[in-house]
A = this chain, B = another copy of it.
Amino acid sequence: MRPIITLTTDFGLDDPFVGIMKGVILKIAPEASLVDITHNIEPQNIAQAALVLESAYPWFPTGTVHMLVVDPGVGGSRRPLAVHSRGYYFVAPDNGILSSVLDAEAQCYELTEKEFFLEPVSNTFHGRDVFAPSAGWIAQEKKLFDLGEKINDPQTLDVPQPVVEGRTIRGQIIYIDRFGNLTTNIGAETLHKHLVPNQKPVIQIGEKKIIGLSSSYSEAREDQPSALVNSWNRLEIFVREANAAETLGVRVGDAVSVDSNESES
C-alpha cells in the first residue's frame, strides 16, 4: 500500500517552501501520497497547529506519517522529534505542537542520526533538511529507533481547559474557521455532564445570549447567533449563512459561558 504523508505548516502557499519539502520527500519515498492539511497556520502559532493536528490526524489510515513544521525555534536548541502514538507517526519540532497525541503510551524519539538529514543542515529550513527526509524515511518503513534516541520529556502546551463553577461552564473560543464559526474548548461530554437535563442551555458570549442548541446550521435562524455541537464534538457558536466572528467581533481567547436555563424547565 502507498504510504501517506500529511503536511501541516505555517509556510503559506505563495513561496516554494512546501513544494521543495515534497521534492525532498519524493526523492526518498517516491510512492508516497502527499496530503496537505493546511499551510496557512498563522506564522509561528504553535497552539493553532496543535489544534489542527488534533482535529485532523485520526481521519487518516493508521500508519500515516503526519509531518508538522511550525518552528519559531529553528536553528536553536529545540529538538526535532519523531513520535509513534495511537497507530500514527508524527514528525515535528519539540515545541508542544504534538501535545494532543503525547499520552503515556506515545513513543518519542529525538532525531539525532544525521545521516538521515540533508547535508549540510541549514539553520533556517529544517522542514527541508530534517523533517521532510525523516518523514520520507519513516514512510519507507525505517524504524524510529534507527533515526534517533528515545526521550521521555517532550514539550507539551498548556491547553486552556473549561472550568465548571456550580451550574456554569466557563470556557473560551479556541478556533475560528473560514466561515467565521467559533469553536470553543467546551466538549460535548462536558456539556452533557454538567447541564441540567431537559433544560435549554444558555450560552453567553460577550453581551450576547443564545438560548438552546441547534442540531444543524440549516435549522438555525438566519438573523442571530446560534450554537451547536460541531463535527469536532465541541460547542460551536455560529450565525447561519454569515460570519459569526465578524458579526460578534470575537477573537480566539474570548470567554464563553454556558448555564442551565432553570426558568424554562
Contact = CB atoms under 8 A, between A and B. Distances in A.
A225 B106 CA distance: 40
Interface stretch (A37-45, A109-117, A201-209): A37-45
A217 B23 contact: no
A35 B59 contact: no
A265 interface: no
Q: Which one of A40, A61, A124, A236 has the highest number of Cβ atoms from chain B below 10 Å of its Cβ? A: A124
Nearest to A41: B14
Nearest to A128: B231
Given A30-B1, A43-B179, A74-B216, A231 B124 contact: yes
A52 to B, nearest CB: 5
Given A36-B19, A122-B231, A60 B26 contact: yes
Interface stretch (A4-12, A144-152, A158-166, A248-256): A4-12
Which of A13, A55, A78 is the most central at the interface, judged by chain B CB atoms within 10 Å of its CB?
A13
A125 B14 CA distance: 22
Chain A contact patch, size range: 35 or more
Interface in A169-227: 177-179, 215-219
A212 to B, nearest CB: 15
Contacts of A26: 4, 33, 35, 60-61
A79 interface: no
B228 A123 contact: yes
A157 interface: no
B56 A20 contact: yes
A33 B4 CA distance: 12
Nearest to A242: B43
Contacts of A74: 216-218
Interface of A: 1-2, 4, 6, 8, 11-20, 22-24, 26-27, 30-31, 33-40, 43-44, 52, 55-56, 59-61, 64, 72-76, 78, 122-125, 128-129, 177-179, 215-219, 228, 230-231, 236, 241
26 contacts: A8-B19, A13-B36, A13-B38, A14-B38, A14-B178, A15-B38, A17-B177, A19-B35, A20-B59, A22-B35, A23-B61, A26-B33, A27-B59, A34-B35, A72-B241, A74-B217, A74-B218, A75-B219, A78-B218, A122-B231, A123-B216, A123-B228, A124-B230, A124-B231, A124-B236, A129-B231
